[in-house]
Amino acid sequence: MTTGKDISLGQFLEQLVLRFDRDKVTMPLRDEKPWHVFFYSLKKSPEKAGKPTFLKEMLFDWDGPYPRSPELADQINAMHWTGCVKAANPQYDEITLNGTVKRVWSQAKLEKDLSKFVGSAVRLARREFAP
Amino acid sequence: MLTDCPTLRRIVDRLNRYCGRRYPDYFGRAAKHPVRQIKPYKVIHDNIWGTNRYSWRELAIIDSPIFQRLRDIHQVGLAYQVYPCAHHTRFEHSLGVVTVASRAFDALIYRHTKTLETIANERQVKSFPSFVNQLREELRLAALLHDVGHSLFSHASEQVYGDLPLMRSAARELRTLVGVKKGAGEVLSFCVSQTKAVKGLLERAYLRLPDKFKGGVQEIDLDNVSLLIVGRSKHPYMQFMADIISSDLDADKLDYLLRDAAAAGLPLRYDLERYLHSVGIAAGHVPDGDGYLQKLYSRVGTEVERKAATEGIPYPHYETYRLRLPQTAMNTIEQIIICKFMLFSYIYHHKKVRSAEGLLGATLRRLVTVWKGTGKTDEQILEQFLDLTDSSLHSQTLLRNSDSQVRDYAFRIHHRLLPREVYAFVASRHSHAEGGLLSVFIKILQGKDLTHDQNLRERTLRDFNQVMGEELCRIKPSLGSSGQQALWNAGAWLDAPGSPKFENINFLIGAGKQAVRLSEVFPINYWIQAYESHRYAVRVFSFSEHLPAVHAAARIACERIIGAKTDEFYETAERKID
């Protein structure tokens, strides 16, 4: 059972993408900004049960027009080029999940509070990702 | 500047003592260098940038042992084992960066004098020529010192000393000091530039300057030099200076792209003249949501207004001036990006380069274990790394080390007895059903994942190697009684290089409201992802004499860790075994 204390950024991203896919939240890919702004909001959100511990450790670079986490950028890009998610040309805006990957990621068992936190993060993302 | 940065201060103090002890004539209490009168400038000729002048201050640094050691550090690590001419070093690269940085600066002075005058007026500068001279000197010194912290074979060793807890802590402190993530080599270069040793050397050099030249000497701020090395400046208006030294399209890249390509014999070029013709400065803002910059400017005594968040800029921020290229320079930007892609493909990710550097990495990690076993602290190990240069490979430290494991691997690197590929997993090659499992596996190996307790990437690599080691013991007991021993003797490991970084995605083209991110006008994301998907490989290596055993053991490890079972999956990935 994965808890907020031991989930990693990469695993958290996988669970988010699974929920986005299920709830039909359009995920940006070409434009990274909404992802970084969304994660920065998560980091700054009030402490509550299930909030992943890695968010506390997460540092953002302040060198461009918005806060940017190089670790998050690595994870988002890797998710795409390894074929875990597919994006349609030419916009690269809508992400769809590879079937096998979806099955593997779905096997992760999240502790109740963490699962609730992922749910609230999806609601926040829906607002942040809106065009 | 380093108040509240205990680790950085500890390293700076340590480096200071190290310099004094190791090179007493240059940095000790009774230092005497430079011994003779110093010339106001000297000319040095470079195969890439031609004839260039270096000032007395730069010469004092260049002639000192902390810089001369760069002559013995290959710019592209062990790539010369594949490209026999790639023997260029960090020494000429650093000199080259000075030239390119000052050419970029001169281009800005020539074409954007008014903007610079505006900046000077806003900062209430008394003399514009003196202001420009100071900027130029600080910029050139930062360019000169930007790689001074490197150790043997450049990035191959950086990954090893960068993993020391001391260095991890220092990197984190620097990240919160300047608000940008920097590599271990940059952290050390920053620390070296902060030492009293460097300051003292420059003060003595001034005393050796003929009196008739002393009148024209421009004072400089060494704190600003240090900050430029890591992409910041003491004043937010001067951020464009830091962009020249450390940014998406900085002087470092402009030099190494041409230098690495030329040395390896690769026909890659970009149009520097067009870059210099186009490069400009534009007003903008730098957000500071976490308050890192506020602390930094306060520490260095810069009084500047931090603006509150607005509707357009949702974070507290500072007004700034940044380096910008217009859309008309797109051709040059594309050339630079293509050059970088090609260098990854030709050199940095070449299978034999990966093999040689993997072997070196393993040797150095073993060396660190040996040092730690004798009670050496992280600070002492860091000093050892500063002592090491590429020649150390043939010295008592490596080739004649008392530890047989270090000695054996050093022998193999020295004689180019490099491991061979057993499997090469490329994401796009596995399109059948089990391809998804490979995708999940490779994704885990990418980037430094963030966890509270342990790193998922490291854990996965460890698990894979553990299974492969245990299987090797079973298949070929002569390799050793433990998995670790068998892996070492077989030269077997799973290699997952970092994917190419193309920070340029966020580089802004144009200025003001017309500014757009590079990714919006050039499909760089697609290029990156296409490259990574089709040409990036996660590999299993093995010494030639143990190929069949490693082949069998690696397949079992893959089946257990990746979960792929079909022969088709492995036939796609396996390399030819004679």
> In which band, very low, low, confident or very high, does the pLDDT at A61 lie, cut at 50, 70 and 90?
very high
pLDDT of the residue at B418 = 97
Is the pLDDT confidence value at B470 over 90?
yes
Q: Where are the domains of chain B?
A: 6-265+280-324, 351-499+523-573
pLDDT of the residue at A91 = 61
Nearest-Cα residue of chain A relative to residue B456:
A8
A66 CB near a chain B CB, below 8 Å?
yes
B171 CB near a chain A CB, below 8 Å?
no
Rounded-to-integer distance, Cα B523 and Cα B330, Å: 12
pLDDT of the residue at B293 = 97
A68 CB near a chain B CB, below 8 Å?
yes
- Mutating which of B306, B440, B457 best tests the A interface, going by the most A Cβ atoms within 10 A? B440
pLDDT of the residue at B478 = 97
pLDDT of the residue at B246 = 92
Provide mean pLDDT across the span B1-15.
96
Could you read off the pLDDT of B366-404 as tens digits, one per residue?
Answer: 999 999 999 999 999 999 999 999 999 989 899 999 999
State chain A's mean pLDDT as an integer: 89
Question: What DSSP state is assigned to residue B574?
Answer: B
Q: Where are the domains of chain A?
A: 9-128
3-class secondary-structure state, position B260: helix
> In which band, very low, low, confident or very high, does the pLDDT at B359 lie, cut at 50, 70 and 90?
very high
pLDDT of the residue at B447 = 63
- Do residue B434 and residue A100 have CB atoms under 8 angstroms apart? yes
Rounded-to-integer distance, Cα B315 and Cα B304, Å: 16
Provide mean pLDDT across the span B511-529.
73
Is the pLDDT confidence value at B330 over 90?
no
CATH of domain B6-265+280-324: 1.10.3210
- Do residue B506 and residue A68 have CB atoms under 8 angstroms apart? yes
Does an H or E element contain B111, and which? helix B90-111
Q: Which residues of A touch B527 (CB under 8 A)?
A: none
Is the pLDDT confidence value at B451 over 80?
no
Rg (CA), chain B: 25
pLDDT of the residue at B431 = 67
pLDDT of the residue at B434 = 81
Q: Which residue has the higher pLDDT, B329 or B234?
A: B234
> In which band, very low, low, confident or very high, does the pLDDT at B456 lie, cut at 50, 70 and 90?
confident
Is the pLDDT confidence value at A116 over 60?
yes
Rounded-to-integer distance, Cα B218 and Cα B133, Å: 7
> In which band, very low, low, confident or very high, does the pLDDT at B458 lie, cut at 50, 70 and 90?
confident
pLDDT of the residue at B225 = 98
A84 CB near a chain B CB, below 8 Å?
yes
What is the three-state SS of A54-106?
Answer: HHHHCCCECCCCCCECHHHHHHHHHHHHCCCEEECCCCCCCEEECHHHHHHHH
pTM of the model: 0.94
Is the pLDDT confidence value at A89 over 70?
no
B521 CB near a chain A CB, below 8 Å?
no
Q: Which residues of B touch A29 (CB under 8 A)?
A: 525
pLDDT of the residue at B329 = 87
- Do residue A10 and residue B443 have CB atoms under 8 angstroms apart? yes
- Tell me: cis bond preceding B314? Omega within 30 of 0 counts: no
Question: What DSSP state is assigned to residue B148?
Answer: T
State chain B's mean pLDDT as an integer: 93
- Do residue B499 and residue A81 have CB atoms under 8 angstroms apart? yes
Provide mean pLDDT across the span A38-49.
95
Is the pLDDT confidence value at B527 over 90?
no
pLDDT of the residue at B430 = 77
pLDDT of the residue at B169 = 96
- Do residue B452 and residue A6 have CB atoms under 8 angstroms apart? yes
Q: Provide the percentage of residues in chain A whose pLDDT is more than 70.
A: 95
pLDDT of the residue at A90 = 58
Q: Which residue has the higher pLDDT, B70 or B454?
A: B70
- Do residue B439 and residue A84 have CB atoms under 8 angstroms apart? yes
pLDDT of the residue at A129 = 86
Q: Which residue has the higher pLDDT, B444 or A110?
A: A110
Within a 10 A sphere around the Cβ of B462, how many other Cβ atoms? 13
Query: By CB neighbour count within 10 A (0-12 exposed, 13-18 middle, 19+ buried), where does A46 fall?
Result: exposed
Which two three-digit tokens encode residue B243? 């962009």
> In which band, very low, low, confident or very high, does the pLDDT at B503 lie, cut at 50, 70 and 90?
low
Is the pLDDT confidence value at B90 over 90?
yes
Which two three-digit tokens encode residue B178? 């300047």
> In which band, very low, low, confident or very high, does the pLDDT at A68 lie, cut at 50, 70 and 90?
very high
pLDDT of the residue at A75 = 87
Is the pLDDT confidence value at A94 over 90?
no
- Mutating which of B439, B504, B505, B534 best tests the A interface, going by the most A Cβ atoms within 10 A? B439
Each as own residue / partner, the long-range contacts of residues B381-384 (CB below 8 Å, 24 or more positions apart, any chain) are B381/B161, B381/B164, B382/B11, B382/B14, B382/B161, B382/B164, B382/B166, B382/B167, B382/B188, B383/B14, B383/B18
Is the pLDDT confidence value at B560 over 80?
yes
Is the pLDDT confidence value at B463 over 70?
yes
Q: Which residues of A touch B455 (CB under 8 A)?
A: 8
pLDDT of the residue at B373 = 97
Least confident of B68-72, B410-414, B562-566: B562-566
Contact between residue A63 and residue B231 where contact means Cβ atoms under 8 Å apart: yes
Pick A67's closest partner by Cβ from B289, B427, B443.
Answer: B289
Rounded-to-integer distance, Cα B87 and Cα B78, Å: 9
Could you read off the pLDDT of B258-307 as tens digits, one per residue?
Answer: 999 999 999 999 999 999 999 999 999 999 999 999 999 999 999 999 99
> In which band, very low, low, confident or very high, does the pLDDT at B504 lie, cut at 50, 70 and 90?
low
Nearest-Cα residue of chain B relative to residue A101:
B436
Q: Provide the percentage of residues in chain B whose pLDDT is more than 90.
A: 80
Pick B175's closest partner by Cβ from A59, A68, A98.
Answer: A59
Is the pLDDT confidence value at B454 over 60?
no
